[in-house]
Structure 1
Amino acid sequence: MSNYKIINSRNIFIITLIVIPLTILLVWVLGLDNHRSLFANSLLSTTILSVSFFLFISIGLFNGTKIKNDLGVLEQENIFFRKNSIIEMDIPEIDDGFAGILFSLLLWFIISIAGSYLLWMFETAAWIILLNFIGILYWIFFRALRLVFKKSAVCKGNFLKSAAYGFGFTLLYNFWIYMIILMAHSIY
């Protein structure tokens, strides 16, 4: 394991919480003179974040990066995961083999459809959007990135393989965001 670079998931999570709002804010502020619509700003922000995600994954795979799961402390501090709280969830641990990947993708698809419906149904309630965003980030940091960086051993030092995996995972993990934006735009 000494040949791999280790990144703390807490650091990635904190940087993400800073970068995403700043990107959205900058796209909105810089677009004031152009009078872009919310739809155009959403697509532009998502594209910038997708390119950043692609670069992060591709460079990480090329360098042989592994992620250290140190977000367990955040789980205990969060009201949704605290013992004896109002909302108590047990998330089953699934094997990381082929069945685990299929189950994760199926669960991701079901949750994203349910999340899209909730987002459409309660769009004026800001706290619903916030809860969906937290759920998305939770899934990315606890399942998705862990699965992505398990490919570091295969991709380390191979630029084309790293870029191919980076593109595939970026498409897989960000395509549904574009679908939500397009569905919301077509409804309104």
Structure 2
Amino acid sequence: MSNYNIINSRNIFIITLIVIPLTILSVWILGLGFDNSLFKNSLISTSILSLSFFLFISIGLYKGIKIKHNLGELEQENIFFQKNMAVETDIPEVGDGIIEIIFSIILWLIVSMVASYLLWAFETILWITILNFIGILYWIFFRALRLVFKKSSVCKSNFSKSILYGFSFTILYNFWIYAIIFMTHHVF
């Protein structure tokens, strides 16, 4: 029998998918009442999530947690969508003559092609963003946390080492988020 507490990576992943959006939404909603800027809301959200990450790691190291991988492998799949779209517009009537009918057909084709392209472009960007986010979370909650909790044998029941390792890993894994926020604020 193992002396370590085992946590499933799937449970951590699901809890994270709930906690991160709720934290960000609550900070943004509260920030609207205080008239906070995008920069300030980003810093507050990231700080709350960093503190939560620090506490999770430190307490986990102190209690001797190990992570069991059960998320499954992320596989890249090509996803193709076909959608039937019915677009209702308030385009004025062109007329009843043959020239007007041809003009309206050409206009309809151009508008349909532009709308289809825009839909495809936005859908592609959305899917790439979602897949990247899932990939990042997968790496953090399987690879990175598994590496962190390999130190459980050194930190178990040792408060100072747990805090030190928790702080070090929090800085290591969250510093780049602060760097992006500050660079975005000062560059743009």
Pairwise CA RMSD = 1.9
Return the alpha-carbon distance in structure 1 between the equivalents of residues 11 and 78 of structure 2.
28
> C-alpha deviations, 1:124-157, integer Å up to 9, x for none?
x554443432232121012100100000000000
Give 5+ residue unaligned stretches, structure 2.
Answer: 80-121
> C-alpha deviations, 1:14-38, integer Å up to 9, x for none?
0000000000000011111211011
Return the alpha-carbon distance in structure 2 between the equivalents of residues 185 and 126 of structure 1.
24
Identity of aligned residues (%): 74
Amino acid at match of 1:32: L
Matches within 5 A, 1:151-166: 151-166=151-166
Amino acid at match of 1:169: F
> C-alpha deviations, 1:110-135, integer Å up to 9, x for none?
xxxxxxxxxxxx9xx55444343223
Which residue does the alignment assign to 1:46? 46
Matches within 5 A, 1:1-188: 2-72=2-72, 75=73, 81=75, 85-86=77-78, 125-188=125-188
Give 5+ residue unaligned stretches, structure 1.
Answer: 88-121
Which residue does the alignment assign to 1:90? none
Q: TM-score, normalised by structure 2?
A: 0.71
* Secondary structure of 2:67's aligned partner: strand
- Greater Rg over alpha carbons, structure: 2
Deviating above 6 A after TM superposition, structure 1's stretches of 4 or more consecutive aligned residues are none
* Secondary structure of 1:147's aligned partner: helix
CA separation of 1:185 and 1:132: change in aligned 2, threshold 3 A: farther
Return the alpha-carbon distance in structure 1 between the equivalents of residues 154 and 4 of structure 2.
12
Return the alpha-carbon distance in structure 1 between the equivalents of residues 60 and 54 of structure 2.
10
Return the alpha-carbon distance in structure 1 between the equivalents of residues 141 and 129 of structure 2.
18
* Secondary structure of 2:33's aligned partner: coil
Amino acid at match of 1:11: N
Return the alpha-carbon distance in structure 1 between the equivalents of residues 132 and 181 of structure 2.
14
Higher relative contact order (CA 8 A, sep 6+): 2
* Secondary structure of 2:32's aligned partner: coil
Tell me the number of residue pairs that the alignment of Structure 1 and Structure 2 aligns: 144
Q: Which moved more, 1:54-63 or 1:27-36?
A: 27-36
Amino acid at match of 1:86: N
Return the alpha-carbon distance in structure 1 between the equivalents of residues 152 and 26 of structure 2.
33
* Secondary structure of 1:32's aligned partner: helix
Return the alpha-carbon distance in structure 2 between the equivalents of residues 15 and 138 of structure 1.
13
Which residue does the alignment assign to 1:97? none
Return the alpha-carbon distance in structure 2 between the equivalents of residues 11 and 28 of structure 1.
26
